[in-house]
Structure 1
């Protein structure tokens, strides 16, 4: 196992959530996430079979020889498939994720965002949000991050629970912050 296995599962889940929230069909979202990574691993194996050369002369099914893929490639497909199937099955049997667990996830993602943003900035990175960058220059990196995050989370806690779409809004914010945290993690670990 390596981080890419978990990254692929996270991306497949993000695709599934986006499609599930828009269409209401979590199975289509699961298929999109799973088939995206099936196609990716298929293409990588075709490149391996041709030593990086053109794949036009290969049998189209050559890349589907799962048993010949290395373990990392196999897990890069298995993780997204299992993760998206679990969510689709949970939805099918009626498991509901309410506002409060989603809000707790949003709080965790914001804490991770603060930690990773500070680490990236300490390594010479830059803040891409111009409003946040101005606030950081005015009052400092950590105070700006903490005050902004606290204000947004307090506002969300006070105004969202009564809305009919509160869970959807918080799920969308979780999706956004999951991407932000992933991107900061990539920059922090030198994978960007």
Structure 2
């Protein structure tokens, strides 16, 4: 049996969500677990893959086994009209077998997003991303207000999960509060997953 890991599963178009994923992965590792970064391929309007079979750079594409065998999940997407991007939704729509077998029941999960505008639907996107995870029986972990960055941020950050204001050109980097909240989610997921794993043993 492989060592326990948290799956950081994301879709990123311009790199902001990918950078959030890396910061969350750092938090997971600070929390004592392996972080497994995975992405999903872009799709066309006809829901067909339009990306290469293997990514040219960055994280590998996720498999259902990556999801099935994880000890926890961080799920990230840019906002598309207040909802997750189609490629990520397309991947999640293909997880029916995991639902039928209860493979994800009782595992901790959190969500994260990035938007071009400050009020571009961050919270509605995060909430919509939680819905399929709740159907899978996962344990939702947000960010408590004991995370001081939530009280001081002037850009991204919500109790539903980390968020980032990337700017209209998508080039605004993560600020110190956004980074702190990404890492906090990673640590939180790792801590909870480790406790749950020890209880199963």
With the length of structure 2 as denominator, give the TM-score of the two structures: 0.28
Larger proportion of helix = 1
Larger proportion of strand = 2
